C-alpha cells in the first residue's frame, strides 16, 4: 500500500541501535476505517502501526497486523517523540508525556495494558536461551540481571501467529512488570533495546526510552 508513513525505532540502546520498529501514519484520514488500517499494518509488518487522527489532541489509533489495541507503549512513546506532543489520547485514556534529554516518557495506568503472562526465570541466561514458543499466550519472559539495581533481562513472545514471533521492545509489558514489582526498572529486551520504568502516584507508571527515525 503506497501510503506516506514514518518508520521509527523506539526504545533504542544508548548507542542508537536496536529498538522496536514502528510505523506512524501522520494523517489518519488516508486510512479511514479499521479494515484499511489493519491492511496497512499487515503490509508494513511491524508489531504495531499508529494512525494519528488528531495531532492537536494527540488522538491516535493503534493496530497490529491482526488486532486493534486500546493501549500500547512503544507506539505512544514513538508518536509523542515524532510529533513533540505533551499528551497522547489512545482509546484507553489520556496519556501525559514529558521529554527529558534523550528520553521520551509517558505516564499511564497498568490496567490499560492488554493482558500479558509475566513469566519469571532464574537467570538472564535462561531468558536469552529461550526458543520462540508456539502460538498461544502473550508471554513476557524476564529475569533479574541485578535485582538491587533494578536491572532486568526480558524477551517478549506475542503468540498471535501473525508473523511477529518476538517483540523487540514492549512498553505495555514493562508497565505491568513495574506495577507488579512496585519499583523502577531498567529493562534490556530483545537484542538490546532499553526501557525504563518508574512507579508514580495514584497507581500510574512512567515509561521512557529513546527514539530515532529510520526513514520517512
CATH 3.10.310.10 for the 1-216 domain, yes or no: yes
114 has pLDDT over 80:
yes
23 has pLDDT over 90:
yes
Query: How far, in Å, CA of 126 to CA of 117, rounded?
Result: 17
125 has pLDDT over 80:
yes
Mean pLDDT of 143-149: 98
pLDDT computed for residue 162 by the predictor: 84
7: its cell numbers? 518508520
DSSP lists the bridge partners of residue 141 as: 119, 155
* Distance, C-alpha 98 to centroid of its chain: 16
Mean pLDDT of 37-62: 96
pLDDT computed for residue 50 by the predictor: 98
Average pLDDT, the chain: 96
Domain borders along the chain are: 1-216
pLDDT computed for residue 210 by the predictor: 98
* Distance, C-alpha 52 to centroid of its chain: 16
Amino acid at each position: 500500500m503506497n501510503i506516506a508513513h514514518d518508520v521509527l525505532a523506539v526504545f533504542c540502546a544508548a548507542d542508537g541501535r536496536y529498538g522496536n520498529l514502528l510505523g506512524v501514519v501522520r494523517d489518519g484520514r488516508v486510512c479511514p476505517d479499521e479494515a484499511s488500517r489493519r491492511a496497512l499494518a499487515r503490509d508494513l509488518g511491524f508489531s504495531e502501526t499508529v494512525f494519528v487522527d488528531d495531532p492537536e489532541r494527540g488522538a491516535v489509533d493503534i493496530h497490529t497486523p491482526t488486532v486493534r489495541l486500546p493501549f500500547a507503549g512503544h507506539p505512544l512513546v514513538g508518536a509523542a517523540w515524532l510529533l513533540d506532543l505533551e499528551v497522547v489520547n489512545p482509546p484507553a485514556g489520556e496519556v501525559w508525556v514529558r521529554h527529558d534529554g534523550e528520553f521520551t516518557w509517558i505516564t499511564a495506568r497498568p490496567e490499560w495494558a492488554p493482558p500479558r503472562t509475566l513469566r519469571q526465570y532464574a537467570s538472564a541466561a535462561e531468558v536469552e536461551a529461550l526458543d520462540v514458543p508456539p502460538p498461544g499466550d502473550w508471554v513476557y519472559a524476564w529475569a533479574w540481571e541485578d535485582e538491587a539495581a533494578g536491572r532486568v533481562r526480558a524477551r517478549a513472545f506475542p503468540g498471535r501467529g501473525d508473523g511477529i514471533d518476538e517483540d523487540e521492545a514492549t512498553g505495555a509489558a514493562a508497565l505491568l512488570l513495574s506495577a507488579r514489582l512496585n519499583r523502577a526498572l531498567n529493562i534490556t529486551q530483545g537484542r538490546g533495546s532499553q526501557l525504563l520504568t518508574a512507579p508514580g502516584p495514584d497507581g500510574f507508571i512512567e515509561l521512557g526510552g529513546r527514539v530515532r527515525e529510520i526513514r520517512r
